[in-house]
C-alpha cells in the first residue's frame, strides 16, 4: 500500500476471532464488506487471537484455526497487498494498549456489556478477567490505528460504543490523542439468525449443526440445512411481524442475490416455503462456491500465507507504535 494513498483515505479497522470456521453470519454481517471497502479506504484487518482465549481453546486447534482464518479472509477477497491483514498477537501494541485503556475504563460500564453476560452464562466455570475486559482490548485494536470506521455486525455495536466512550475519556484526561470511530453496520444482514431458532443470532458455537451455515460447507449440506430451516405456518413468502424465520431467509437471499424484499415477494408469489428454501440454499451455495475453491487453493501454499501475515504484522506494528508512543507520553511515562 503506498503512503500517498494512505494519507488521503479514511481508515477502516475490523477484527474476527479465530474460534472456528466462519459462518454465513460472519460473512454477510462483516467480512464480505471488508473486501468491498479496500479500494475506497485504507483497510486494516486482524485475526483476533488475543480475544479468542477469553474462552477455553485447545492450543493446537487455535493455531490451526488462526492460519485458516487468515486464509479465509484472503479467500473472501481481502487482498494483503491492498489491506494490512495480520494476526493480533504478532503486534504487541495490542496487549500494551489494553493496559493503558483499562485504566480509563470503569468497572460499571464493563458490567453492562450484554456479550459478557451471555458468555458468562454459557461458560459458568470460567468467568475469567479477560472475558470481562475483552471490550477494552477491542477498543485498543480500533484506537491504535486511529480508525474512522469499524465494519461489524449488530452484536458488536455496544462494544464499539464503549470504545468511543473510552477514547473520549482518555482524550479529556490527557489531551487529544484518539480519533472517535463510527460503526459501519450493513442495513440488511446485520444480524443473521439461527436457522433453527430465528430469534437467536447465528453463531459459530451453536450446538445444533443445522442452525448454522459455515462458509466452507458444501452445496448439499447448505441446501439440506436450509430445507430444515424453521419457518411459520402461514406459507406465504412476505416480510412481516411474527415471521422471524422467513424474515431471516429473505434477508439472506436478498444479501446474496441483491434482490429487494419486493422482488423476492413477487418472485415467490403463490409458491410455497419449500421452493423458497431451496432457492435460498442454492443461491447461498453458489455464492460461496468461489470462496471454498480459493480457500482450498491457498491452503496448499502455507508458506505464502505466512509471508502475507508476517508482512501484515510489520505494517500494523509500524502504524500502531506511533499511537502507542504518544499514549505513553500522554500518561507521563519516561521515554525509553
Residue 83 binds ligand LTN (CB under 6 A): no
Nearer to ligand LTN, 12 or 213 (CB): 12
Nearer to ligand LTN, 246 or 324 (CB): 324
Q: Is there a catalytic annotation at residue 204? A: yes
The residue with its CB nearest to ligand ATP is 29
Cell of 98: 489494553
Residue 14 binds ligand LTN (CB under 6 A): yes
Q: Is there a catalytic annotation at residue 36? A: no
Least distance between ligand LTN and beta carbon 46 (Å): 6
**Order of strands across the sheet that contains 11-16:** 84-87, 42-47, 11-16, 149-151, 182-184
Least distance between ligand LTN and beta carbon 277 (Å): 28
Distance (Å, whole) CA 260 – CA 52:
36
Residues whose CB falls within 8 Å of the CB of residue 123, separated by 6 or more in sequence, listed in order: 55, 56, 131
Q: Nearest Cα to 93, choosing from 105, 101, 83?
A: 101
CA angle 232, 208, 128 (to 5 degrees): 120
Nearer to ligand LTN, 15 or 186 (CB): 15
Secondary structure (DSSP) of 164-194: HHHHHHHHHHH-S-----EEE--SSSTTPBP
- Which option in ligand ATP, ligand LTN, none does residue 245 bind, with CB closer than 5 to 8 A by kind? none
Residue 320 binds ligand LTN (CB under 6 A): no
- Which option in ligand LTN, ligand ATP, none does residue 202 bind, with CB closer than 5 to 8 A by kind? ligand ATP
Distance (Å, whole) CA 181 – CA 61:
33
Using CB under 6 A as the binding rule, the residues of this chain from 134 to 163 that contact ligand LTN are 138, 141-142, 150, 152, 156
Q: Which residues bind ligand ATP (CB under 6 A)?
A: 16-17, 19, 23, 25-26, 29-30, 152-153, 155-156, 190-192, 201-205
Nearer to ligand ATP, 191 or 243 (CB): 191
Q: Which of 9, 179, 204, 219 is catalytic?
A: 204
Least distance between ligand LTN and beta carbon 204 (Å): 10
Cell of 150: 469499524
- Which option in ligand ATP, ligand LTN, none does residue 256 bind, with CB closer than 5 to 8 A by kind? none
Question: Binding-site residue total for ligand LTN (CB under 6 A)?
Answer: 13
Residue 181 binds ligand LTN (CB under 6 A): no
Least distance between ligand ATP and beta carbon 319 (Å): 21
Question: How far is Cα of residue 211 from the mean position of the Cα atoms in its chain?
Answer: 19
Secondary structure (DSSP) of 200-265: SB--TT-S-GGG--BTT--HHHHHHHHHT----SS------TT-HHHHHHHHHHHHHH---HHHHH
Residue 28 binds ligand LTN (CB under 6 A): no
Nearer to ligand LTN, 157 or 238 (CB): 157
Question: How far is Cα of residue 256 from the mean position of the Cα atoms in its chain?
Answer: 18
Residues whose CB falls within 8 Å of the CB of residue 8, separated by 6 or more in sequence, listed in order: none
Torsion, Cα of 205, 207, 211, 212 (10° steps): 30
Q: Is there a catalytic annotation at residue 201? A: yes
Nearer to ligand ATP, 83 or 104 (CB): 83
Spell out where the chain has E strands: 11-16, 42-47, 84-87, 149-151, 182-184
Least distance between ligand LTN and beta carbon 275 (Å): 34
Cell of 130: 479477560
Q: Which of 193, 201, 243, 277 is catalytic?
A: 201
Residue 48 binds ligand LTN (CB under 6 A): yes
The contact set with ligand LTN (CB under 6 A) reads 13-17, 48, 51, 138, 141-142, 150, 152, 156
The residues assigned a catalytic role are: 119, 201, 204
Amino acid at each position: 500500500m503506498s503512503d500517498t494513498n494512505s494519507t488521503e483515505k479514511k481508515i477502516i479497522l475490523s477484527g474476527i476471532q479465530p474460534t472456528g470456521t466462519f459462518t454465513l453470519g460472519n460473512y454477510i454481517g462483516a467480512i464480505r464488506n471488508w473486501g468491498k471497502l479496500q479500494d475506497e479506504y485504507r483497510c486494516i484487518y486482524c485475526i483476533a487471537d488475543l480475544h479468542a482465549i477469553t474462552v477455553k481453546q485447545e492450543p493446537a486447534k487455535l493455531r490451526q484455526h488462526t492460519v485458516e482464518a487468515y486464509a479465509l479472509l484472503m479467500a473472501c477477497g481481502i487482498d494483503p497487498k491492498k489491506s494490512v491483514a495480520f494476526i493480533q498477537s504478532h503486534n504487541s501494541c495490542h496487549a500494551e494498549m489494553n493496559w493503558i485503556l483499562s485504566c480509563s475504563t470503569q468497572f460499571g460500564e464493563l458490567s453492562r456489556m450484554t456479550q459478557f453476560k451471555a458468555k458468562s452464562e454459557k461458560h459458568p466455570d470460567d468467568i475469567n478477567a479477560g472475558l470481562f475486559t475483552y471490550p477494552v482490548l477491542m477498543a485498543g485494536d480500533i484506537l491504535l490505528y486511529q480508525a474512522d470506521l469499524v465494519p461489524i455486525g449488530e452484536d458488536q455495536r455496544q462494544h464499539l460504543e464503549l470504545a468511543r466512550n473510552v477514547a473520549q475519556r482518555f482524550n479529556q484526561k490527557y489531551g487529544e490523542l484518539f480519533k472517535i470511530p463510527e460503526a459501519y453496520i450493513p442495513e440488511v444482514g446485520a444480524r443473521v439468525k439461527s436457522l433453527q431458532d430465528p430469534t437467536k443470532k447465528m453463531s459459530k458455537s451453536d450446538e445444533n449443526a443445522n442452525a448454522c451455515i459455515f462458509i466452507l460447507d458444501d452445496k448439499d449440506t447448505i441446501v439440506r440445512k436450509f430445507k430444515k430451516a424453521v419457518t411459520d405456518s402461514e406459507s406465504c413468502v412476505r416480510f412481516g411481524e411474527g415471521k422471524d424465520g422467513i424474515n431471516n431467509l429473505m434477508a439472506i437471499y436478498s444479501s446474496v442475490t441483491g434482490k429487494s424484499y419486493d422482488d423476492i415477494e413477487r418472485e415467490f408469489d403463490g409458491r410455497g416455503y419449500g421452493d423458497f428454501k431451496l432457492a435460498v440454499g442454492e443461491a447461498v451455495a453458489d455464492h460461496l462456491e468461489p470462496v471454498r475453491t480459493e480457500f482450498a487453493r491457498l491452503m496448499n501454499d502455507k508458506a505464502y500465507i505466512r509471508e502475507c501475515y508476517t508482512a501484515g504484522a510489520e505494517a500494523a506494528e509500524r502504524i500502531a507504535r506511533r499511537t502507542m508512543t504518544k499514549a505513553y507520553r500522554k500518561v507521563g511515562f519516561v521515554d525509553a
